[in-house]
Structure 1
Amino acid sequence: MTGGVLNEAYQRFHRTGPEWGEDQLTNHGPMAVEVMIRRGYADQVDGWVDRYTRRLDPLPPPSDRITDDTWAEALGAGRRLGDWTAYFTDRVAEEPWRDVLARWWPRLLPGIAAGTTHGVIRVGHVVRALLAGAENEQSLAELAHGLAFWATRYQPVPGADPAVTGPPAASAGAAFDALPRIPHQRGRVADRFGQLSRMDGWPRAVATLDATTDPERALTDLVTAATLSYLRHGHASPVLLVHTATAPNAVLHTLPALPRELWAPSAAAVWAASAAIHAGWAPADAAPRAILPTPPGGPDAVAEAVDQAIAHGDEHVIKFTDTAVEVYCRTGHLDALAAASRSAALITP
């Protein structure tokens, strides 16, 4: 990890908020540059950040102090972003970051759908950097910003009931394939998520993935299934559907920093979030195989996939390709690289 470049990028992004524009689009900058540097493209980060930061809004200042006694009432309060950022900045300055994460992860986990999972994804990327040795003032500040975004946009997955049980699916792929779709796949996140709690079979559908027996394996299989599903279903919502894979991958990379007792609930929570996004945006009918990219192969396949993503430049393509490459390296499944190519074709540079 090229620490100086990452630190400078983090400093620049910490002057900006986690969302921008009237539609409250998510600032993916810190996540994308972590991928670029880890994948060996540190020399392109400054130019990418120059272009990306032009669209961003400034970070709002704090207005009302959050304390250890008042934090619960501030969860999900969008106007408290500055307050949450100040709160977590103080926490990581005063305590070991692993202690802060271990205490706040279970508090935030029920709201894992925050920012359509961007809260947990941002935290996952910086935790990966911290675990790789990039522990310094800037990376700790990035953890504070990620946790603050998650707390500000805290949002549970509607209708996901941990008390509901059912026969587990044979695999994560089978669990994905069995997911129902909301009746009306249109409108904003609130419109689509709001339909989930009114679907009779939704709680049982979410209960089909066994996340308790082997949480790490469940997450690994979920990332693979979601990546391969994107190849067939991503055309319906190319940007939103990448998060069915990148969110569980962020949790997977965070596991080593978490107490073991949090692994199973983490896997269950992110499966519910991925399933909700799939139910809300993925079409029931898969794209015909004939129109899908031919899976690349050969010794340079990974390098070519990452080169394609960096040249494309879109933050979603960069992050999803990073996940897809990990799936390919773990499984040898060429369709993972085809899914990365599919995202580059579907998402406007």
Structure 2
Amino acid sequence: MTTTGSDTTGTLDEALQRLHAHGPERLGRLTNHAPMAVEALASHGQARAVHRWLDLYAPRLEDFPSAVEAVTAANWRAALGDPRRAADWIAHFGRELADRPWRDVLAEWWPRLLPGMYGGSTHPVIRVGHAVRTLLAAGPAAPTAPRLTELAHGLGYWAARHRPVTGLTPLPGAVRAADALDAVPLVAEQTGGFPDRLARVRRLPVWAPSVTGPDAAYEHLTELVRAATHRYATHGHGEETMLVHAATAPNAVLRTLPALPRALWAPSLAAAWTASAAVTAMYAPTTAVTPTPPGSLTPEDVFARALAHGDEHVIKLTDTALDVGDEQALAAALRAIELSEPLN
């Protein structure tokens, strides 16, 4: 089903150029999801719908923010995690990617940014994952300028919203990712926005702590994405939008691994687990429901329904569900369609 390459390059690049005039956020904190959604549409053979979808989403876009001070090799640590510096960070990565191969820039900055993947409600790492998928899809061909710029926007957004999670008390985990997610204790007060809830996460189960090899890390991360996607089918009603990130954040990391040095794969697994578990702690309900199976619906049918619905989180969860590819994952996508408000 996935369609990448020359038939989508022009449309996606046009959409990305259109979007790069806008900032990574709106209304002070909400994320601009359009770059991620249009990449998902193009990757699943829906390039013809990209600009039509963008026209519907356009009222939510805001102008690109103003610069404050250039980020340099000497001052970047002071600028890390400062959302006022988003434009500065994006410009910094634009310069870096103009001068060096994109994989080299990613390999240098990934370990610096990884501890802070919880800022911006995990959206920055998700945006990077979508950007990397487009770059990897090009194979040995030279990446197009809009796709490199998109990576600069994703990395810059991540640096500006960088927020580590520290002081967690480890709890007994489980062998299987699904059981470990079930063991996550919910925060006592599930109120407020993502930053407020994240500050209340104090205890999380450990999972796969002994994994150090890259191949095992890849296998475990694949299992985590599958478990979190499946869990949305039964628990998505706890918060239909935010619980999407329990699956899409680790999937963004999984998509990025092939572009990274293998030594970074195991640390990436650990960070992805913390993100998925923390989102679960902040938003999961206490009771589960029985999902409706997809029946005769094909993956193409489910993605078409997600596009018709239009909500950006529905599109992104369906994109991840198709990566997983089984019936429970498709049921999760259908559950998101059922729970979420459509884009009008």
CA distance in structure 2 between the aligned counterparts of 1:259 and 1:297, rounded to whole angstroms? 41
CA distance in structure 2 between the aligned counterparts of 1:104 and 1:303, rounded to whole angstroms? 36
CA distance in structure 1 between the aligned counterparts of 2:56 and 2:14, rounded to whole angstroms? 15
CA distance in structure 2 between the aligned counterparts of 1:312 and 1:211, rounded to whole angstroms? 39
Aligned residue number for residue 282 of structure 1: 284
- Relative to 1, partners in 2 of residues 1:157 and 1:206: Cα closer, same or farther, differing over 3 Å? farther
* Counterpart residue identity of residue 337, structure 1: L
Check if 1:138 corresponds to 2:143.
no
1:102-149 Cα distance to aligned partner (Å, 9 max, x none) = 000000000010211101000000101000007111100000000000
Per-residue deviation at 1:297? 3.3
* Counterpart residue identity of residue 273, structure 2: W
Per-residue deviation at 1:208? 5.8
CA distance in structure 2 between the aligned counterparts of 1:59 and 1:254, rounded to whole angstroms? 26
Say which is worse superposed, 57-66 or 315-324, in terms of deviation: 57-66
Unmatched runs of 5 consecutive residues or more in structure 2 = none
1:214-240 Cα distance to aligned partner (Å, 9 max, x none) = 110111000011011111111111000
- Within the candidate set 31, 35, 50, 2:55 is matched to 50
* TM-score, structure 2 normalization: 0.92
Aligned residue number for residue 18 of structure 2: 12
Say which is worse superposed, 239-248 or 211-220, in terms of deviation: 211-220
| Equivalent pair of 2:128/2:155 in contact (CA under 8 Å) | yes
Per-residue deviation at 1:50? 1.6
Say which is worse superposed, 182-191 or 249-258, in terms of deviation: 182-191
| Equivalent pair of 1:158/1:193 in contact (CA under 8 Å) | no
* Counterpart residue identity of residue 236, structure 1: G
Aligned residue number for residue 41 of structure 1: 46
- Within the candidate set 89, 94, 105, 1:100 is matched to 105
Per-residue deviation at 1:168? 5.0
1:54-103 Cα distance to aligned partner (Å, 9 max, x none) = 21111112221110111011011011111111111100011100000000
1:313-335 Cα distance to aligned partner (Å, 9 max, x none) = 1111011001112212xxx3x12
* TM-score, structure 1 normalization: 0.91
* Counterpart residue identity of residue 192, structure 2: G
Per-residue deviation at 1:211? 4.4
Check if 1:88 corresponds to 2:119.
no
Aligned residue number for residue 254 of structure 1: 256
* Counterpart residue identity of residue 327, structure 1: V
**How many residues are aligned here?**
331
SS at structure 2 position matched to 1:116:
helix
CA distance in structure 2 between the aligned counterparts of 1:20 and 1:105, rounded to whole angstroms? 25
Aligned residue number for residue 230 of structure 2: 228
SS at structure 1 position matched to 2:60:
coil
Aligned residue number for residue 170 of structure 1: 175
Aligned residue number for residue 147 of structure 1: 155
* Counterpart residue identity of residue 21, structure 1: L
| Equivalent pair of 1:222/1:271 in contact (CA under 8 Å) | yes
CA distance in structure 2 between the aligned counterparts of 1:179 and 1:104, rounded to whole angstroms? 30
CA distance in structure 2 between the aligned counterparts of 1:53 and 1:209, rounded to whole angstroms? 43
CA distance in structure 2 between the aligned counterparts of 1:151 and 1:111, rounded to whole angstroms? 8
Aligned residue number for residue 321 of structure 2: 324
| Equivalent pair of 2:234/2:288 in contact (CA under 8 Å) | yes
CA distance in structure 2 between the aligned counterparts of 1:175 and 1:112, rounded to whole angstroms? 20
CA distance in structure 2 between the aligned counterparts of 1:279 and 1:212, rounded to whole angstroms? 25
Check if 1:219 corresponds to 2:212.
no
* Counterpart residue identity of residue 21, structure 2: R
1:304-315 matches, cutoff 5 A: 304-315=301-312
Identity, in percent, stands at: 51
Say which is worse superposed, 69-78 or 168-177, in terms of deviation: 168-177
| Equivalent pair of 1:118/1:247 in contact (CA under 8 Å) | yes
Aligned residue number for residue 293 of structure 2: 295
* Counterpart residue identity of residue 7, structure 1: D
| Equivalent pair of 1:157/1:273 in contact (CA under 8 Å) | no
